[in-house]
Structure 1
Amino acid sequence: MTEAVHATLDRIELLKPLPPQRRAELARQCRWRHFSAGEQILDQHADSRDVCFIVEGTVRVVSHSASGREISFDDIGAGGTVGEMAAVDGQPRSAAVEALEDGTLIAFLGAKTFLEVATGDPQVALAVMRRLSGIARRATERVMELSTLGANNRVHAELLRLARRNRRPDGTAVLRPIPVHGDLGARVSTTRETVARVLNDLARDGIVERTADALVIRDLSRLEALVAEVRA
């Protein structure tokens, strides 16, 4: 893979509190690498502690059971960060990370340097704490959903999470590219057939619509009501 010698860390959300010259200094300390779609970036249970900044492309955070079943946790685009948990607590990786797009560009920063940055700047420290808090909250939500909701309702909840990231002022949301049924199923521990059936039901009710290149949530408020009803 080629090295990126002119890329910057200016788009990385966690590092935006830093002055430009400090980000440039950190960029020079990073190990840069391009990844192809499907290529592994971080290995689950690995002892590495580097923090990965996603400069270009999108990555997926996944875990695998002893039987090889894949569970997908999150997709993170350019500007995001992965691997900070291992850097903070010194424990092995709890999940694997793989590239979703060709040309995904990752900047690897050593754990020691990352911790020096995080502890040396209060705004970066706060950003890291908020990021880790968000991970914990989403994990708690998923545990509750897996324990209390049926498969159909879990698909509704996951669609709602994706839709809220892409909410538009008119009360709709556009998911582009169209979520793959198998990927949605992996996120909520169900089958692609169940996902297909749920999407068909939502389309029949006018809540979602599939276009040539996107899944449109036509009525976000109704989807929210479906999820709220079973969570009550």
Structure 2
Amino acid sequence: MKTFSPSSSRASSTGADGLSPNDHRANRIFRHMSPEEISALGPSIEHLTYGKGEMILQRRDEEGGIYLLLEGVLLANQYARSGREVGYRRIAAGSYFGEISAIDGLPRSVNVVALEDARIARLPQSLVRRLFEESPRFMKALLEDMAGLARALTDRLFELTAVSVACRVDIELLRMAGVAGGDGQRAVISPCPTHAELAALLGSQREPVTRELNRLAGLGIVRQTGRTLHVLDLPALAGEVERIGGEI
């Protein structure tokens, strides 16, 4: 890990608010705050970079703070004593993590590792505590996202206990396609998780994940080129979820 100056970041296209997607001020955690409120936080925010494979947070770490992902893709996971990996979620640019420990003051509950080179802005715990006390708009975004996380975990628990691995693969591809964006017919997922990474996220083994991806490719629904997965027919993928027993 190394620190960097915000002015050294790569240039990129700007959104409707005039901010580039990899600017910390564009992170979703600030979505209800005014530009003036967000700008005032700048001197207190730490900017960090991590290389692919580097551990950002480790389970049971006691350091607080909330981390905003500016660039890259991360994985929240945990390892059983047997060595088996359990993946909880992929974290995409524009998201944030670490809020649970920042709220309850307890050690980190999962590891967070960089799946590719990543840039991060960190809100130190002292700043987070001040925002908890002084910014209802910050708290509104945090509470909305905590509710969304609870709903997502409920959905995943249902999927793990009630639907097949093949169906879970299809549902996860739909989720990732939604994050990637597109025209409602096609989407490009890049970088796509490896089959082993998908298996860890879905509570499965690599072999059934590979079989389902090969089946979808045979139907012309997906095509993979290296670490890029092209979803060629989103409606057909959604139809497969419903056909084999899942819910959209």
- TM-score after normalising by structure 1: 0.88
Q: In structure 2, what is the equivalent of residue 114 of structure 1?
A: 128
For 2:96 and 2:209, how far apart are their aligned partners in 1? 29
Q: Deviations over 1:89-132 (max 9, x none)?
A: 22221211112222x22222223421322443333222111211
Counterpart residue type for residue 197 of structure 2? D
Q: How much does 1:188 deviate?
A: 0.5
Gap regions ≥5 residues in structure 1: none
Shift of 1:182: 0.9
Q: Report the Cα offset of residue 2 of structure 1.
A: 3.5
Alignment-derived partner of residue 93 in structure 2: 78
Superimposed CA distance per residue, residues 20-50 of structure 1 (whole angstroms, 9 cap, x where no aligned partner): 4433432321333221111111111222221
Does the CA contact (< 8 Å) of 1:118 and 1:128 recur in 2?
no
Q: Aligned partners of 2:185, 2:129: CA distance in 1, in Å?
A: 40
Instruction: Please list, as runs of the form range in 1=range in 2, the aligned pairs for 1:156-175 lying within 5 A after superposition.
Output: 156-175=170-189
Distance 1:158 1:200 in 2: 15
Determine whether 1:223 maps to 2:209.
no
For the Cα contact (< 8 Å) 2:32–2:140, is it kept in 1?
no
Give the stretch that moved more between structures: 30-39 or 20-29.
Answer: 20-29
Counterpart of 1:98 in structure 2 is 113
Equivalent residue letter for 1:11: A
Q: Aligned pair count?
A: 231
Alpha-carbon displacement from aligned partner over 1:43-63 (angstroms, at most 9, x marks no partner): 112222211122333322112
Aligned match of 2:82 in 47, 64, 67?
67
CA distance in 1, matches of 2:71, 2:228: 22
Inter-CA distance 148–106: structure 2 relative to 1 (3 Å threshold):
same
Matched to 1:40, the amino acid is M
Say whether 1:11 aligns with 2:26. Answer: yes
Which secondary structure does the structure 2 equivalent of 1:215 belong to?
Answer: strand
Q: Residue 170 and residue 26 in structure 1: after superposition, are their counterparts in 2 closer, same or farther (change >3 A)?
A: closer
* Bigger mean CA offset, 92-101 vs 19-28: 19-28
Counting only pairs closer than 5 Å after superposition, residues 19-38 of structure 1 correspond to structure 2 as 19-38=34-53
| SS of match in other structure, 2:210 | helix
1:179–1:215 contact (8 Å) kept in structure 2: no
Paired residue secondary structure (2:86): strand
Structure 2 match to 1:210: 224
Q: Secondary structure at the match of 2:113?
A: strand
Percent identity over the alignment?
31
Task: Tell me the distance in 2 between the aligned counterparts of 1:83 and 1:226.
Answer: 35
Q: Per the alignment, in what secondary structure is the counterpart of residue 62 of structure 1?
A: strand
Offset of 1:133 from its aligned partner?
A: 1.4
**Structure-1 residue corresponding to 2:61:** 46
Q: Distance in 2 between matches of 1:220 and 1:138?
A: 21
Structure 2 runs not aligned, ≥5 long: 8-22
For residues 42 and 95 of structure 2, the distance between their equivalents in structure 1, rounded to whole angstroms, comes to 15
Q: CA deviation at 1:139?
A: 1.0
AA aligned to 1:193 is: E
Q: Closer, same or farther in 2 for the Cα pair 1:31/1:211, shift >3 Å? A: closer
Instruction: Classify 1:78/1:153 alpha carbon distance in 2 versus 1 (closer, same or farther; 3 Å).
Output: closer
- Partners of 1:110 and 1:174 lie apart in 2 by 35
1:3-24 Cα deviation digits (max 9, x unpaired): 2233563222212433444334
Aligned partners of 1:11 and 1:78 also within 8 Å: no
